[in-house]
Amino acid sequence: MKFTLPWLKEHLETVATLDEIVDKLTMIGLEVERVEDKAKQFEAFKVVSVISAVQHPNADRLRVCMVDTGQGPPLQIVCGAPNARAGMKAVLGLPGTYIPAKNITLAVGKIRDVESFGMMISGAEIGFSDDSDGIIEMPADAPVGKPFAEVLGLSDPVIEINLTPNRADCTGVSGIARDLGATLIGDYKDNAPKPVKGTFPCPVKVTLDFGATHPLCPAFGLRLVRGVKNGPSPDWLQKKLTAIGLRPINALVDITNFITFDRGRPLHVFDADKVHGHLTVRRAHNGEKLLALDGKTYELDAATCVIADEKGVESLAGIMGGEETGCSETTTNVLIESALWDELNIAQTGRKFGINSDARYRFERGVDPAFMLPGLELATQMVLDLCGGEPSEIVVAGDPTPKETIIDFPLSEVTRLAGLKMTLPQVRRTLEKLGFFAAGQGERIKVAAPSWRPDVHGRADIVEELVRIAGVDSVPSTPFPRGADARKPVLTPIQTRTRKAKRALAARGLTEAVTWSFVSKREAELFGGGKPELALANPIAAELSDMRPSLLPGLMMSVQRNADRGYADVALFEVGQIFKGDQPQDQFTAASGLRRALAKGTGIGRHWSAAAAPVDAFDAKADAFAVLAAAGAPMQALQVVPGGPAWFHPGRSGTIQIGPQNILGSFGELHPRALAALKAEGPLVAFEVILENIPAPKAKPTRAKAVLELSAFQPVERDFAFVVDAKIKAANIVRAAQSVDKKLIAGVTVFDVYEGTGIEPGKKSIAVAVTIQPREKTMTDAEIDALGQRLVAEVGKKTGGVLRG
Amino acid sequence: MSDIAQLESQLLAAVTSAKDEAALEAVRVAALGKSGSVSALLKTLGSMTPDERKVQGPAINGLKERVTAAIAAAKDALGAAALDARLASETVDVTLPLRDPPAETGRLHPISQVIDELTAIFADMGFAVAEGPDIETDDYNFTKLNFPEGHPAREMHDTFYFPPKPDGSRLLLRTHTSPVQVRTMLTQKPPIRVIIPGRTYRSDSDQTHTPMFHQVEGLVIDKTSHLGHLKWILEEFCKAFFEVDSVKMRFRPSFFPFTEPSMEVDIQCRRDKGEIRFGEGNDWLEILGCGMVHPNVLRNCGFDPDEYQGFAWGMGIDRIAMLKYGMPDLRAFFEADVRWLNHYGFRPLDFPTLAGGLSS
């Protein structure tokens, strides 16, 4: 919403400065987006008269002009504009002038060997208008030497308000003035229009025809003015419209645009001679078309509300008129329409057709129903004043009477909701200045909302009005009591796991990425997703079409992008949501990471201390276990079984579980096919852990740790090397060894794995160190040997392993 | 000179001239070995008369002790010299670089860090952290929050939708974290004090908009909390978060469907060569929206608006991270460029606490 300061002052008697008004507007919720001072912005560009324009000696398209600047001798200017000619008035920028729109400073230049002492400018060059076809042409009577913007009447500051969608009443200057008046910055002038008596019945009848469907037009007023003389509107009106960026067209159209901005009341004018018969307001028939005033043809359907005559659709109701019945300079009989429209329908229709008209802007917010007829009277008076003619009586279809909103309002509401104390006189004064009607004395009053405030429904809205006008600054900042509640952790278990997982992974040298929650359909399918219910109906791009079933595709693409930039040894992780279905319980928190090339857990990149080795499944396993440990998983209960989901290398991946029913995650080398599908280059290892699958720890009554038992006896360590089938898993040997005596065997560590010379092909040697912790007494050599023999026997039984000779 | 004294001077000379441990051992064997010269003298003691022994005994034993001590001393000296010689040949290049420790090279994303900072600040004021699903119903994302039917934000332009269900209903990606307010109000009893950080989605993409972003909301529901408390909380938050002694804030009336009265909040700042300083300057920067919870929202969530009241606020996590830490472009947050993450990310041991400072 744009308006000039003098325009505002036509509705507000005030001595306040521009800055005071701008500040006040923002502080009452009419946020000033910008104040445009064209006079100041363009003051360096002045009117000149072109004395002569001759062909440039060295360039076909250039002319050499002599221009009179009103000061000193004429200046020589080289100009390439097609419209540069002798006798015209143009606009000149002198050397030294800065042009912000182009970020250049003009200088004396030589153009093809001819000196130029300035530049005659086009509207586009200085950001004044979109016109780049030629230099600005000033009226013939424009005084030479004056700033052109001032000559065009653009010296008034233009205020632009970013209007919130609830404020229908401030789509007109008069409404804005009323709001300002309530703050006592000035006095609101109630310029209520006077009725104009019709001298004959309106020959065109109006029917609202919505059949059994929801009516889209509550009321419609129409009047004919015959014998008008249309033409350019007077200077004052043209300047007003130009100042806020509207193009003057002709008096009849300019009047409707003026009232739209002055009162927030859009109107439409039909050339009565082009209208066939009577008007019907109805839903469009499917397939009906309208050539609108913007020159585009719209194909309509039953969701569109139209005004039709006996020939067909003439106007897109409340949004844009039709080309065929538009008013031109030759119009002599004009039908003026002032109507009310269904806000929701206007919004939907406007959005559907992509039309952002000034009418739509107002009707979708909801115009003042009580001003439907006064608006029509105001327009009639202006038509009579500017174009003459004779008005008919008004015909009205439907009923514009507004619904009354009466609110029972205890004054204590202001204190309860806003922490602000206000007296009854204060409350009454503010509300009445805003046009509300307040009745009653004492603690409880009745408040009636004005017809132009459809956004006011209840007590909270009244509080808002009072706080808004008093200023939110006047609400005292009040310390918020913490309360006497016990200080408990504020994080849920999953939140705690999430933040611990992140820091544990970063502590292992991985870098946290945040990738999109959506991936391409193909990526989703490759990583166990792709369900139709998780595909967006309106994705922003094809590669962001499906909710991710795993964090890995996003991380793989990220790692590859870094590799493409020359960062090959990258370790990334993410802890975030993945989607197995569209219900809340189908959303899980995954912790996943990816290591590429030499980004090993023991250190990233090459280093003198060890030969460079690529990442392997154990780097990923270590990451997975670090997450699980940090997130509080019962580490002793975890089992690792070979193999994982399809996107892992079948022989170099593992699954971490607590029994086959509770899988916590998986790790390993990525499958070469998954790499190929995502055009990623290995070596790449990855892990995924689902934080929700970690069992909750048992609640304990106190925080005390279990009693520490220190043995009085020295532990004994014995080494055993077993030769087993190459297929046998180390975990089986460890488990068998541990099972021999859970009390005495305190630890079993694998310290060597060997295949090759000295070991039969198809076999391998696994060496374990067994820690024996005597419990009640020191053990004799014989006792230790006996335990060792039992251990060898048990391992042999479970794995077929024999002691290496 | 007696024989003993002569032998002693011979032996001590031999000890002194021994160049290494082997030569010294030869001297020892020659003197103190079974058939050594000193041992031979000692053997003579047995055949002496008691008077002779009284004289010769101490002399010979004295000889033995002195020679033994001399050999031991010489052995120590030779050992020390040998160690020095060995150590002199054993050197490492202590200038060789270490591997960077993982805890120094790993990084947390600024969003994670800022969420931890927010949590620390609001936990101290008695707020818990609530969360909810990203895939929401139209009812929780819009209707219960008093978005009138036909509100532009419901249209395809802003909201990501899923395909319609057989009954015609459509799930969507939450466009704000506010549906978690609804979920919280429907399941908890007042007093409610929560903050809600999370991912949100809008089908919008340019330099300042990404289709996915992060928001944090706050919600208070009880019987007494009003606008003054809201102002105080936000002022305290801004001081703590931006780590400045004072901030000047400007509350402008505005409009949101789910609050009434509604406000937008600007924070005073000074822009200086791409850096923003808070608590000084003459510029205003919009950082959040807030207001008293709309009576319709309270009603929709089962509260009587004449009995219960409260307020809510919401802001962009990515945005306040950019303001505090100076990232120029939102899009880079989601590009996973390790150069950016290294530069703007946080070390895992930089844990934000109020006791130790959020960012120091």
Q: By the 8 A CB rule, do A334 and A225 touch?
A: yes
Q: Considering only the C-alpha atoms of chain A, give the largest distance between any 2 of them, rounded to a whole number of Å.
A: 130
Start-to-end Cα distance in chain A:
94
Q: Tokens for B188? A: 């908890």
Write the CATH number of the domain with boundaries B105-344: 3.30.930.10
| Residues A475 and A420: beta-carbon distance below 8 Å | yes
A694-700: long-range contacts (C-beta < 8 A, 24 or more apart)? A694/A497, A694/A628, A694/A631, A694/A632, A694/A633, A694/A664, A695/A633, A695/A634, A695/A658, A695/A662, A696/A493, A697/A632, A697/A634
CB–CB contact B347 A579 (8 Å) = no
**A746 to chain B nearest CA, in Å?**
31
- Answer yes or no: is pLDDT of A133 > 80: no
Count contacts between A and B (CB, < 8 Å): 253
Q: What is the pLDDT of residues A239-265, one digit of tens each?
A: 899 888 888 899 999 999 999 999 999
- pLDDT for A581: 96
CA-based nearest distance A708→chain B, Å: 29
Average pLDDT for A299-327: 94
The confidence score (pLDDT) of residue A126 equals 81
- Buried b / exposed e over B4-18, threshold 16 CB at 10 Å, is eeebbeebbebbeeb
3-state SS track over A44-79: CCEEEEEEEEEECCCCCCCEEEEEECCCCCCEEEEE
Cα angle for residues A664, B111, B215 (degrees, 5° grid)? 100
Taking phi over 0 as left and psi of -120 to 50 as alpha, with beta for the rest, B230 belongs to alpha
Picking from A28, A461, A475, A586 by the largest number of B CB atoms within 10 A of its own CB, the best residue to mutate is A475
Is pLDDT above 90 for B283? no
Say if residue A122's pLDDT is above 90: no
Q: How far apart are CA A740 and CA A597, in angstroms?
A: 42
| Alpha carbon of residue B233 to chain centroid | 27
* Contact assessment for residue B259 and residue B294, using Cβ atoms and an 8 Å cutoff: yes
Which residues in chain A have Cβ-Cβ distances shorter than 8 Å to B111?
514
Q: Residue A805 pLDDT > 80, yes or no? A: no
| pLDDT at residue number B41 | 86
Of the partner residues A495, A506, A558, the one whose CB lies closest to the CB of residue B106: A506
What is residue A177's three-state secondary structure? Answer: helix
Residues of A in contact with B126 (CB under 8 A): 482-483, 485
Residue entry with tokens 């018969």: A277
Dihedral of CA atoms A728, A730, A735, A738 in degrees, nearest 10, equals: 130
pLDDT at A224 over 80: yes
Name the average pLDDT for chain B: 91
Contact state of B162 with A582 under an 8 Å Cβ cutoff: yes
Strand pairing report for B135-137 and B171-173: antiparallel
| Among the ranges given (A525-529, A797-801, B10-14), the one the predictor scored with the smallest mean pLDDT | B10-14
In words, the CATH class of domain A408-474 is alpha beta
Q: Of B132, B159, B138, B334, whose CA–CA distance to B217 is shortest? A: B132
Cβ atoms within 10 A of the Cβ of A124, count?
Answer: 15
Please answer yes or no on whether A477 and B212 come within 8 Å at the CB atom: no
Instruction: Please give the residue of chain A at the shortest CA–CA distance from B100.
Output: A603
Partner-chain residue, chosen from B131, B251, B262, that has the shortest CB–CB distance to A473 = B251
pLDDT for res A297:
94
Report the percentage of chain A scoring pLDDT > 90: 78
- Per-residue exposure over A394-433, b if at least 16 CB sit within 10 Å of its own CB, e if not: bbbbbebebeebebebebebbebbbbbebeeeebbebbeb
Is A453's pLDDT higher than 60?
yes
Query: Which of A491, A507, A587 is facing B102, going by the closest CB pair?
Result: A507
Residue of A444, A503, A548 to mutate when probing chain B, most B C-beta within 10 A: A503
- pLDDT tens readout for residues B44-67: 888 888 888 888 888 888 889 999
Instruction: Give me A162's structure tokens.
Output: 């970013």
Contacts of B342 in chain A (CB under 8 A): 511
Supply φ then ψ for residue A162, to 5 degrees.
Answer: -90, 95
pLDDT beyond 90 at A180: yes
pLDDT given for residue B152 in this prediction:
62
pLDDT confidence of residue A247: 84
Neighbours of A454 (CB within 10 A): 20
Write down the domain spans for chain B: 3-89, 105-344
- Indicate the pLDDT class of residue B1, thresholds 50, 70 and 90: low
**Contact by Cβ (8 Å): B26, B81:** no
Say whether A31 and B264 touch across the interface (CB within 8 A): yes
Q: What is the pLDDT of residue A682?
A: 84
Q: What is the pLDDT of residue A709?
A: 84
Strands of chain B (E only): list them: 128-129, 135-137, 171-173, 192-201, 212-222, 249-256, 259-272, 275-278, 283-293, 309-316
Q: Which CATH architecture has domain A2-37+157-188?
A: 2-Layer Sandwich (3.30)
Task: List, as one string, the DSSP characters of A421-466.
Answer: ---HHHHHHHHHHTT-EEE--TTEEEEE--TT-TT--SHHHHHHHH
Q: Is the dihedral of CA B120, B122, B123, B125 positive or negative?
A: positive
Residue to mutate among B99, B115, B194, B239, with most A CBs inside 10 A, is B99
pLDDT of residue B149: 73
B256 to chain A, minimum CA–CA distance in Å? Answer: 9
Average pLDDT over residues A167-174: 95
Nearest-angstrom CA–CA distance, A297 and A289: 7
Rounded CA-CA distance A306/A327 in Å is: 18
CA atoms of A549 and A296, how far apart (whole Å): 45
ipTM of the complex: 0.89
- Write the pLDDT tens digit of every residue in A80-103: 888 888 889 999 998 888 887 778
A578-635: pLDDT as tens digits: 999 999 999 999 999 999 999 999 889 999 998 989 999 999 999 999 999 999 999 9
Q: Which residues contact A86 (CB under 8 A, 6 or more apart)?
A: A50, A51, A52, A53, A65
Instruction: List C-alpha distances in Å: B98 to A610, B90, B93, B349.
Output: 12, 20, 12, 20
Report residue A598 CA to chain centroid gap: 40
Output DSSP code: residue A296: -
> Residue by residue, what is the 3-state secondary structure of A336-389?
EEEEECCHHHHHHHHHHHCCCCHHHHHHCCCCCHHHHHHHHHHHHHHHHHHHCC
Tell me which range, A32-46, B48-62, B282-296, is most confidently predicted by mean pLDDT: B282-296
Q: Which of B213, B223, B255 is most worth mutating to test chain A (most A CB atoms within 10 A of its CB)?
A: B255
Candidates A344, A475, A513; nearest CB to B228 = A475
| CATH code reported for the domain at A716-803 | 3.30.70.380
Q: Which residues pair with A13 in a beta bridge?
A: A187
Architecture of the domain made up of A40-151: Beta Barrel (2.40)
By the 8 A CB rule, do A37 and A157 touch? yes
| A418: chain B residues, CB-CB within 8 Å | 226-228, 261, 292
Residue range A432-444: average pLDDT?
A: 94
pLDDT digits (tens, 9 = 90+) for A364-414: 999 999 999 999 999 999 999 999 999 999 999 999 999 999 999 999 999
CATH fold of the domain at A206-398: Phenylalanyl-tRNA Synthetase; Chain B, domain 3 (3.50.40)
- B155 falls in which pLDDT band (50, 70, 90)? low
Residue B179's CB is within 10 A of a number of other CB atoms, namely 27
Q: Residue A264 has what DSSP assignment? A: S
Rounded (10°) angle between helices B50-89 and B3-17: 10
Least confident of A120-134, A284-298, A658-672, B212-226: A120-134
What is the SS3 string spanning A220-239? EEEEEEECCCCCCCCHHHHH
Task: Calculate what percentage of chain A has a pLDDT beyond 70.
Answer: 100
The 10 Å Cβ neighbour count of residue A650 is 12
Q: Which residue has the higher pLDDT, A486 or A268?
A: A268
User: Taking the C-alpha atoms of A224, A227, A230 and A233 in order, what is their torsion angle to the nearest 10 degrees?
Assistant: -80
B126 → chain A, closest CA residue: A482
Fold of A493-693: BirA Bifunctional Protein; domain 2 (3.30.930)
Cα–Cα distance between B215 and A204 in angstroms, integer?
56
Q: Count other Cβ atoms within 10 Å, centred on residue A507.
A: 20
Q: What was the pLDDT predicted at B153?
A: 58
For residue A683, say if its preceding peptide bond is cis, omega within 30 degrees of 0: yes
How high is the pLDDT of residue A698? 84
- Could you tell me which residues are beta bridge partners of residue A573? A512, A593
- Determine, for residues B338 and A476 on separate chains, whether the beta-carbon distance falls below 8 Å: no
Q: Are strands A663-670 and A684-690 parallel, antiparallel or unpaired?
A: antiparallel
Q: State residue A63 phi and psi, 5-degree precision.
A: -125, 150
Rounded to a whole number of angstroms, the distance from the CA of A335 to the nearest CA of chain B is: 32
- Provide the pLDDT for residue B95: 95
**DSSP helix/strand/coil, B188:** coil
Chain B residues lying within 8 Å of A472, measured CB to CB: 227, 231, 251-253, 261, 263
Name the pLDDT band for A519 (thresholds 50, 70, 90).
very high
Tell me the nearest-neighbour CA distance from A443 into chain B, angstroms.
16
The domains spanning A2-37+157-188 and A716-803 adopt the same CATH topology: no
The predicted structure's pLDDT at residue A130: 66
> How far apart, in whole angstroms, are the C-alpha atoms of residue A100 and residue A504?
52
Sequence-separated contacts (24+) of A629-636 with Cβ below 8 Å: A629/A504, A630/A500, A630/A501, A630/A503, A630/A504, A631/A497, A631/A500, A631/A501, A631/A504, A631/A591, A631/A689, A631/A691, A631/A694, A632/A497, A632/A500, A632/A694, A632/A697, A633/A664, A633/A694, A633/A695, A634/A658, A634/A695, A634/A697
Question: How many residues make up chain A in this entry?
Answer: 805
**Residues of A in Cβ contact (< 8 Å) with B116:** 499
Report how far apart, in Å, the C-alpha atoms of A221 and of each of A200, A327, A372, A751 are.
16, 18, 7, 95
Other beta carbons within 10 Å of A604: 24
Q: Which residues contact A305 (CB under 8 A, 6 or more apart)?
A: A216, A217, A281, A282, A283, A284, A317, A318, A341, A342, A345, A346, A349
What is the residue-averaged pLDDT of chain A?
Answer: 93
Nearest CA among A458, A432, A437, A459 for reference residue A447: A437
Per-residue pLDDT tens over the stretch B255-271: 999 999 999 999 988 88
More confident residue, A804 or A436: A436
Assess whether pLDDT exceeds 90 at residue A703.
Answer: no
Query: For residue B281, is pLDDT > 90?
Result: no
